[in-house]
Amino acid sequence: MPTQIHELGALQQYRLLQRRELGVLEAVDHYLERIERLNPSLGAFHTVTADAARERARMLDSSDDRTALLWGLAQADKDLVRRAGVRTTFGSRLFEQFVPSESDELALQLDAAGTVSLGKTATPEFGLTGYTESSVAPPARDPYDLALGAGGSSGGAAVAVAAGLLPFAPGSDGGGSIRIPAAACGLVGLKPSRGLVPAGSGQDSLAGLPVAGPIARTVVDAALLLDGMIARTGDRIRHTHTLRPPAYDDGLFLGAAVRGEGRFSIGVTTSTPWELVQEIRLDPAATDALAVARDTLASLGHGVEEFALEPAPDYGPAFRTIWQAGASTLPADETTEHLLEPLTRWLMHRGRALPTSELVAALATLSRFERSIVRQFDRFDAVLTPTLALTPRPVGWYDREDGERNFAQQVEYAPFTSYVNVAGLPAITLPVHRTEGGVPMGAQLIGRPGGEATLLALGAQLERRLRWGRIHPPQW
């Protein structure tokens, strides 16, 4: 029986809070103590807002209205999300002392869901990379091996959850930024369908890539946070755009995760559109993780079929163009760009030099690719891939000066994540395996448009069989 608050899952804590067997301030104080003690060696947080968290906890403890979906649960905002009155650096020296006067929609939605923010989790500069090392704070380190990086760009969030500094955490994912660090830190990370989470829909971003989603230790807790991130009126999601994923009409996603029911058709592939751009090598640990997931799903009665993606030679150059173009609007000029990291400066200048015709062509290419992937995946309920091609990379492994080399390294490490963003599909990474040294390795399930419930059901079945919730890093 767990004896400390952080040993309880988020849903377990929620039930205790509802019954007044656990106080919000009691839980917040427990996590703040762990953050103070453990964060210096982990680099999970950029900013800790202890006073504001305690004030909100006292307010919630004194309230009789406990109906909010995530009432009383602790979380922390990724340091790309503005919260009024709280330093928000975007992982950049350019905003090292920036304190916004207004909150972003996601922060407001999490407040409305009843959470208590403990601060800001670490992110790389403007969330541009799949690792979390910046000039404004120490790197986010993998709790299972502090010599390794936590992945990115939601690296701080993943470290905090894995090490028991938070019960769960919101992240954002524009090319793998939830799934990469979740896989590296032994967690469940869910990238929702484009448009599902109105406060982080992706539809107001270039190529519709980045969406908001949950990072948690268990499938049930990921589903719980996902439900809380979605604004609803009754059972109806308050969509902000006319384009949205197919509706899930069977209640909250938490129900699908708790039930964990169904038999499904699973496609399995290790092919990626990046293999036409550069050599992709699978570490044996990645192959082992895939095999564990595949064989377990087959033993559970699911249909499993291996297949290969159709060649997409234009994908890599088009995605690279969008990555560069996304940095073109950074608020830096010749007087302030020296504050940016070398890679960010390179990206910004490359993006600003792109001809409009090249950007338009890249967007059209990715739109065609999206339709192709949705068509190829349509005969399966879900598609299984490795999450990462390599084991978690050492801190300092990525080239910080040579943009071309850096981009190639990111593709080398995570060639299975970005194309899911381009296709707008949901995907979940699950911590199915450990290396001989105990470092986590994940497997990824990709769903149909609006197929989060199927992914959660499959994840719950794998979790019941593999029981990864009993494995924790040394800081636990």
Per the CB < 8 A criterion, the answer to whether 199 and 231 are in contact is: yes
Q: Do 95 and 127 contact (CB within 8 A), yes or no?
A: no
Whether 446 and 302 have beta carbons less than 8 Å apart is answered as no
Name the active-site residue from 117, 153, 172, 271: 153
Distance from C-alpha of 360 to C-alpha of 318, rounded to nearest angstrom: 10
Kindly calculate the radius of gyration of the chain based on its CA atoms and give it in whole angstroms: 21
* Closest residue by Cα to residue 413 from 190, 189, 174, 149: 149
- Catalytic site includes residue 153: yes
Place of tokens 């879900």: 382
Measure the CA–CA gap between 265 and 424, rounded to whole angstroms.
20
Residues in a beta bridge with 429: 189, 444
CA 80 – CA 136 distance, rounded (Å): 13
Residues 277-294: b if buried by 16+ CB within 10 A, e if exposed: beebebbebbebbbebbb
Catalytic residue among 92, 172, 177, 418: 177
Is 177 among the catalytic positions?
yes
Query: In DSSP terms, which residues pair with 382 in a beta bridge?
Result: 266, 447
Amino acid at 47: T
Catalytic residue among 78, 92, 191, 418: 78
Give how far Cα 181 sits from Cα of 13, 320, 328, 417, Å.
24, 21, 26, 12
C-alpha–C-alpha distance, residues 91 and 107, integer Å: 17
Residue 78 annotated as catalytic: yes
- How far is the C-alpha of 359 from the C-alpha of 284, rounded, in Å? 37
Active site residues: 78, 153, 177
